[in-house]
């Protein structure tokens, strides 16, 4: 099945869940048989009757692979297992139950479907030399590669490539999805992500972002109760206009764009010289702000206020992470990778861990944007989302910042607001379709909202 709202675990967390399952009386063989059955089910769908090469390593990933080969052969598929190393532990039992054709990895026949059971979460060193050459040859000749648990060559936590990676067209995650599916080389090498929980009970404060549930305004609501968003314009007012337009379409009751000659995206957005702090439910500072003296002053003023803030773009270059701790009002930061590195230092491989650390250090909700976007709270919760790659165009981050401000004005709950905004932004991008520009997003936000009511 396609995972929705699923927990995302590290290799250590997965092993702990597996150990708890064994402590509860389950056997490793039974778990492997269940994994093998799930893999065979998916592989059969993708093979559509064509011949299959199953790659089996020496660890449990290989054990799953031998089991899957057996189930596929029982269904009448033409299956060859290409093995690497001597299966040990639970994998040895699975290997002994396989009586079909077995060759060494370097002799693996190129076939339309390759099932990758070389390495899973136990990969401990880079794949190089003869196995790497075999992987390259098989990938080049295959129509479709199904990875068991995680594509071989990916670090399960960071998603970084360890030597060569056998890029998958689909990955069947076992037990739970892994952080490595969403990060580094794992983004491009995992293909379509599927999950079989194998009945394991896994929980984590890090989860895939689910579609939010939103409420229509109440009968007693008016423009102020629904929340006024102030957007501070600066030297590049186009960015502030994009943000203000998104805030208005994102459900705010009233949007004020503050700045002389900033203009407005449409007439519903009000241009004023300044934002009335008594009225504002959330203020966005940063998109197109500039980094001169004026920008510095504005940034300092808003930082020292007791208003709920979204800090984006230039504002993220004008503040320091530790001073944010002094704020008592909610703060949401929306950095891209470069802004994040300036504020908090270059993240080590695991960006999810880096975003959680940053949230804890600053006390703010951190939205670390990119091909995978992570929303992290200072209490250790994180939500992870993969938006359309068509979003990689100028100004889409300004739209997201405006949306966060709108949801913040409506909900008053920073983590929830950031999650809602990231989902709506990605959905608006999907609705806008290929070759979108940032200006296209706002008009699709109401359609995305309608899907959440
Ligand atoms: N965790 C779970 O809940 C479950 C795990 N299962 C499977 O078990 C896998 C993890 O099994 P393991 O812990 O045995 O780990 P792996 O099967 O990923 O491989 C570890 C083995 O490969 C060797 N190795 C690592 N890197 C190497 C390299 N570059 N070159 C050559 N050898 C290398 C190690 O020394 C070890 O023998 C999962 O990915 C999944 O497929 C399933 O069987 C069932 C459920
Ligand atoms: N390759 C990608 N795949 C998916 N989303 C992406 C990709 N690259 C960027 N994005 C998204 O596009 C937006 C870009 O924001 P940002 O870098 O702040 O741009 P800008 O400042 O021009 O608005 C973010 O929401 C980010 O998550
Ligand atoms: K694998």
Q: Tell me if 62 is assigned to a ligand binding site.
A: yes
Ligand 2 contacts (CB < 6 A) are: 313, 336, 369-371, 373, 387, 389, 391-392, 394-398, 400
Neighbours of 86 (CB within 10 A): 10
- Rg of the chain (C-alpha set): 25
- State whether residue 70 is helix, strand or coil: helix
What pLDDT score does 97 carry? 95
Q: At what angle do helices 351-362 and 337-344 cross, to 10 degrees?
A: 50
Q: Indicate which ligand has the atom closest to the C-alpha of 196.
A: 1
Contact 159, 179 (CB under 8 A): yes
Which residue is closest in CA terms to ligand 1's atom 11?
60
Domains of the chain and any CATH numbers: 8-204 (3.40.50.10260), 228-450 (3.40.1190.20)
ipTM attached to this prediction: 0.90
Q: Tell me if 336 is assigned to a ligand binding site.
A: yes
DSSP string, 220-256: T--TTTT-EEEEE--S-HHHHHHHHHHHHHTT-SEEE
Among candidates 332, 323, 287, which has minimal Cα distance to 304? 323
Q: Tell me if 398 is assigned to a ligand binding site.
A: yes
pTM of the model as a whole: 0.94
In terms of pLDDT, which residue wins out, 177 or 23?
177
Rounded distance from Cα 169 to ligand 2 centre (Å): 24
What pLDDT score does 208 carry? 97
Note the pLDDT tens digit of each residue in 27-55. Answer: 889 999 999 999 999 999 999 999 999 99
Q: Indicate which ligand has the atom closest to the C-alpha of 392.
A: 2
Q: Is the CB of 121 under 6 A from ligand 1?
A: yes
| Region 311-336 average pLDDT | 94
Calculate the average pLDDT of the chain: 95
Tell me which residue has tokens 């920008």.
Answer: 295
What pLDDT score does 30 carry? 92
CA distance 342 to 355: 13
Q: Is the CB of 173 under 6 A from ligand 1?
A: no
The minimum-distance atom of ligand 2 relative to the CA of 438 is 23
pLDDT over threshold 90, residue 223: yes
What pLDDT score does 86 carry? 86
């Amino acid at each position: 099945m396609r995972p929705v709202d699923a927990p995302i675990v590290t290799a250590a967390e997965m092993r702990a869940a597996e150990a708890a399952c064994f402590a509860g009386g389950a056997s490793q063989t039974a778990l492997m048989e269940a994994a093998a059955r799930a893999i065979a089910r998916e592989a059969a769908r993708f093979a559509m009757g064509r011949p299959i090469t199953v790659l089996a390593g020496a660890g449990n990933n290989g054990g799953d692979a031998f089991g899957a080969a057996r189930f596929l052969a029982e269904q009448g598929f033409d299956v060859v297992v290409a093995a690497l190393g001597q299966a040990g532990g639970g994998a040895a039992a699975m290997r002994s139950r396989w009586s079909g054709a077995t060759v060494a990895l370097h002799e693996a026949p190129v076939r339309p479907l390759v099932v990758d059971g070389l390495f899973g979460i136990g990969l401990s060193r880079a794949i190089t030399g003869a196995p790497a050459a075999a992987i390259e040859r098989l990938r080049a000749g295959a129509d479709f590669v199904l990875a068991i648990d995680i594509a071989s060559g990916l670090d399960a936590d960071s998603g970084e490539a360890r030597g060569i990676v056998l890029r998958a067209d689909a990955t069947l995650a076992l037990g739970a999805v892994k952080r490595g599916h969403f990060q580094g080389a794992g983004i491009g090498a995992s293909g379509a992500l599927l999950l079989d929980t194998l009945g394991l009970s896994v929980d984590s404060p890090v989860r895939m972002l689910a579609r939010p549930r939103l409420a229509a305004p109440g009968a007693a609501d008016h423009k102020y109760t629904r929340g006024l968003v102030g957007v501070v314009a600066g030297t590049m007012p186009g960015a502030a206009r994009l943000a203000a337009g998104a805030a208005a379409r994102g459900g705010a009751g009233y949007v004020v764009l503050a700045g002389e000659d900033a203009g407005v995206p449409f007439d519903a957005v009000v241009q004023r010289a300044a934002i009335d702090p008594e009225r504002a439910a959330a203020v966005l500072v940063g998109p197109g702000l500039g980094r001169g003296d004026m920008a510095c002053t504005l940034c300092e003023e808003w930082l020292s206020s007791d208003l709920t803030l979204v800090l984006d773009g230039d504002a993220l270059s004008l503040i320091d992470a530790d001073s944010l701790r002094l704020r008592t009002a909610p703060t949401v930061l929306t950095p891209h990778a470069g802004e994040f590195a300036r504020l908090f230092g270059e993240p080590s491989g695991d960006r999810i861990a880096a975003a959680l650390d940053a949230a804890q250090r600053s006390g703010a909700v951190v939205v670390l944007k990119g091909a995978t976007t992570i929303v992290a709270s200072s209490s250790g919760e994180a939500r992870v989302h993969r938006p359309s790659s068509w979003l990689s165009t100028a100004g889409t981050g300004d739209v997201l910042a405006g949306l966060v401000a709108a949801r913040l004005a409506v909900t008053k709950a920073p983590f929830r607001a950031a999650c809602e905004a990231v989902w709506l932004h990605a959905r608006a991008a999907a609705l806008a379709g290929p070759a979108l520009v940032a200006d296209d997003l706002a008009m699709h936000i109401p359609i995305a909202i309608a899907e959440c009511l």
